[in-house]
Every structure is written in structure tokens, then in C-alpha cells.
Structure 1
Amino acid sequence: MEKVRAKKHLGQHFLKDKGIAQDIVEALSYHMGYRHVLEIGPGTGVLTEFLVKKDIELFLIDLDKESIAYLHTHYPQLPESRIMYGDVLRTDLKTLFPAPFGVIGNFPYNISSQIFFKILEHRDHVPEVVCMLQKEVAERIAEGPGSKTYGILSVLLQAYYDIEYLFTVEAHVFIPPPKVRSAVIRLKRNQVQALDCNEKRFVQVVKQGFQNRRKTLRNALKSLNLPEHMQGHPMLDKRAEQLSVADFVELTQLIA
């Protein structure tokens, strides 16, 4: 098998620039000393080509059977069990990786947010993520409070990870070229073991705040039945996009 066809329903756009591929792989810093790496959506193996040269335990997962067959043929140095056909969103990563592992990949644009929510579920087991995704989503994740692009995923990820926007990638270096620009970001697990509030409630407050982002938090959070003592709190006069992670933690504490 010499070629893998990019499939629209899988959101595939294969990177053809090996220089960019090498830059993405070199962005892995092995933060906190992990040696296992999961590549999500390897496709034609443009990142894999550089990853297999590293002193790591590399695992690949892809939902494209054609890609899996291609990877088995072109990377015989990897044990067959480490080239996995499957949906990463449905994979039991805790069983697959008993030790901490890094994540890398050119994330399919149509499921990139879902992948990050999966990573959040395993945040104490994933010290680092280096990935390429739609530029707009990358900016949203890396952006700080006060920006119109700052949102739910920004707050939830920044609560547990330090996030760096590394570089922009133009559409012409993909086959087929996407209609949007792409970007590479790096997430490194921070020192927060647990938030100083009820974490389930924190997620609820963040989501509720941004789902009504044009409203002040006093109105956006009405369905949470805010206690009477909070009604005059100045934070409620703000909109969700104006609050930092620390502000949302404080707000959750007050509501609880």
C-alpha cells in the first residue's frame, strides 16, 4: 500500500511538510519524565517517522483501517500491538497506560475539543500534550481572560495545564488543504493536584457562565439558584470571559 486517501468524514488532512512534522515532534519536552507517548491520528505517519527515532515507548491509534494497514507496513519496528485501530474517545487509556504518557498528534478538527475533554479526564496521567489543530481552537485554548475567544475549554484546561501557542501552520502544507489555518500548541501539567473548590461544581459554573456569555454572571448563573448573600457580589456584574481560573474557583466556593 503506497497511499492513504484522506477521508472527509474522519476530518483527515495529511501534513506533507516534514520540516514542520519534525518541529512538532521536537516540541515534546518529556515534562515530568514520561517515556510513553500516544500519537492520535497518525494517518500517513509523517510524525511517526520522527517519533520512532526517539527513546520512547510509542503507541499509535487511528480510526482509519487504511492508515493502520499503511503504518503496519511502513513501521515494522513497532510491535503490532502498539499500532491500534480504534476510537481514542472510546479507548480505556488508564488500562492501556499504567504509567504517565504524553500525547501528540495532528488532531482531527471535528473531534479536537472532545479529545481535550478526554485528556482532562486523565489529567493526572497526561503530563504533556503537543498537538496541531484548527488555529481558532488553538487560540481559544491558549487565550487568557478578557478575550472574545476565551471560553469553556480555555478555563478548564488552564486550570490544570500551562499552555503555549507555538506556531501557525498554513493550509498549503496539507493534503488536501483545509479551509482554515492550523496551529501547534503545547500543554504542560501544572502543580495543581486539585482545585480549592468542588471540581464538579466548578465545571458546572464555567459551562453555565459561557453558555450565556453575553449576559452578566448574575443572569447567566440564575439556574444555579445563587444564595442570597451573593446577590450583591461585584463578580456577578462581570461576564464569564472576564474571569480568570482563580476567579472561577472563588466564585464556585461562594456558590457552594
Structure 2
Amino acid sequence: MAGVKPKKHLGQHFLKDQNIAKNIVKGLFDETDPEAVLEVGPGTGVLSDLMIDKGIKQLVLMDLDSESIDYLKNRYIGKAVDIQFTDFLKSDFKEIFGDQPLSIIGNFPYNISSQIFFKVLENRKQVNYVVGMIQKEVAERIASKEGNKTYGILSVLLQAYYDIEYLFTVPPHVFNPPPKVNSGVIRLVRNNVKQLDCDEVLFKRVVKEGFQKRRKTLRNALKGLNLPESMQQLEVLNKRAEQLSVADFVKLTKLIEGHD
């Protein structure tokens, strides 16, 4: 990886397997022919190389590693690409892309992977596709369905607005340096839900409080919501959060709204 050394404090593990890189990019381009793509943490450009000549109208590479930024700017002189030394988590998509639909791709830094997906959620009206490589157990959690121990807050919140597919597993030895865990590649495709059929702020709170005490029944886990006595006998409150589908959480949120 001439010119760029992976930095532990940035959670960098540079992918060095071309076939895996091709499959990650394929995971996005099989689903869409995007006009605007944001790559998070391009590193040495292993994914960028495969997208640079695809005719993307607006390709933005975003990294917080100045060494990586300098390397990529030299690598892509004369290419139609916008290379930004910017914190993805603080970036303003509207400022960069206007109102156009956006696809996000990347070998995401493990230490901020959950925050990246919360950022996607905040921008769900604009972000239509995401293909990302993250720690395998986090990828499995996001794609997990109700009834599984791995099913959690991110699973429900993301699945409310995206169809999610776990694509494939990536072993540690294809990285420099090798991480201590396996990685997983997942794909998010925006569904047709423009707005949930309930108060979305309350929905998020119900999901979060339900899973923060996931071993307890919802009757106990949701005590902080001060549910009225008229709700206490509802059958759904005998269940634990991991037993409820997205639709169940929407129904529960509506019931809570109706009893306020």
C-alpha cells in the first residue's frame, strides 16, 4: 500500500483482494446505475478504482486521513472525482449533492460503523442505496429478523425504511492489517415507506427503550414511557422487544399514541 499507512486510531484496514473489491462494487451496481455516489473511507482507492470510469456524474470520496487524501488526489489527476478531507458523520449531503438521490459505498471503519448507519437513517429521504463492509456481527445484527438474539435497535430502525440483505463474509487475511474479526458486506435498498404510520419520534423511543432492557418484557422495559393503566393488560406487553417485527413496533407505537 505505497504511500498510505493504515492508522489504528481511524480504524483502517485496507482491503487488498481485488475479487472482493469487485463484488462489493457489484453489490451496488447490480441494483442501480447511480448518478451520485459517496464512498466513505476510500483509503488506497481499491473500490474507487473500480468506480472511477463508470460514468458516475458525481463521485465523492470522503476520508479523514490526510495521507490517503493526498495519495488519491495524485492517483486520480484529471479524473472526474471530488476528493474531500471531511468527516462523513458531520457532512451535509444537501450541501454536497443538492437534492439528488444518493448511493453510499465503502469499507466502513469498524469504530464508527453504527454511527454511519444512524447517519444514513437521518438522511433516508435522500439515501436510496448503501453497500458497506463492516464487522460481521454488526452486519448480521442489522440484517437480522425478529426472534433472533442478534436482532436489535439498528435492525428495527433500518428495516423500517430499507430492505436489507447480507451479501457475503470477508475473512481477515485479505486486509492490511488483518482485523481480529471477520467482516460482512450488506446492502440496503430504500423501500416505499415515505413515512411510518405512527409518530416516528415516538417509534424510535419505543424501539430504543424496548431493547435497552431486552431481557425484560415490554411492560417493564417501557416503564419510562409511563404507559396508562388502560394499556397494561395488552398481550403485546408480555413479549420482549426481540419478538416484535417492525410492523409490530409500528402498531405498538400507534396504541401508545392513542392512549395518551
TM-score w.r.t. length of structure 1: 0.97
Q: Look up the match of 1:96.
A: 96
Name stretches of at least 5 consecutive residues in structure 1 with no aligned partner: none
Q: Compared with structure 1, are the counterparts of its residues 32 and 166 closer, same or farther at alpha carbon in structure 2 (3 Å cutoff)?
A: closer
CA distance in 2, matches of 1:52, 1:142: 29
Q: Deviations over 1:45-99 (max 9, x none)?
A: 000010112121211000000000000011113357x100010001111211111
Q: Compared with structure 1, are the counterparts of its residues 127 and 202 closer, same or farther at alpha carbon in structure 2 (3 Å cutoff)?
A: same
What secondary structure sits across from 2:5 in the alignment? coil
Q: Aligned AA for 2:47?
A: L
- Is 1:37–1:103's contact at 8 Å kept on the other side of the alignment? yes
Q: Aligned AA for 1:217?
A: L
CA distance in 2, matches of 1:182, 1:146: 23
Q: Equivalent residues in 2 for 1:196-211 (5 A)?
A: 196-211=197-212
CA distance in 2, matches of 1:250, 1:194: 14
Q: Aligned AA for 2:4?
A: V
Q: Look up the match of 2:159.
A: 158
Q: Look up the match of 2:196.
A: 195
Q: Look up the match of 1:36.
A: 36
Q: Look up the match of 2:138.
A: 137
Q: Aligned AA for 2:19?
A: G
CA distance in 2, matches of 1:72, 1:58: 13
Q: Equivalent residues in 2 for 1:1-256 (5 A)?
A: 2-29=2-29, 34-56=34-56, 57-79=58-80, 82-98=82-98, 99-256=100-257
Q: Aligned AA for 2:7?
A: K
How large is the RMSD of aligned CA atoms in angstroms? 1.3
- Is 2:42–2:62's contact at 8 Å kept on the other side of the alignment? yes
Q: Deviations over 1:114-150 (max 9, x none)?
A: 0000000110101100010000000000000000000
- Is 1:202–1:252's contact at 8 Å kept on the other side of the alignment? yes
Q: Aligned AA for 2:90?
A: R
Name stretches of at least 5 consecutive residues in structure 2 with no aligned partner: none
**Shift of residue 29, structure 1, vs aligned partner:** 3.6
Q: Aligned AA for 1:17?
A: D
CA distance in 2, matches of 1:2, 1:150: 40
CA distance in 2, matches of 1:228, 1:88: 45
Q: Aligned AA for 2:50?
A: F
What secondary structure sits across from 2:155 in the alignment? helix
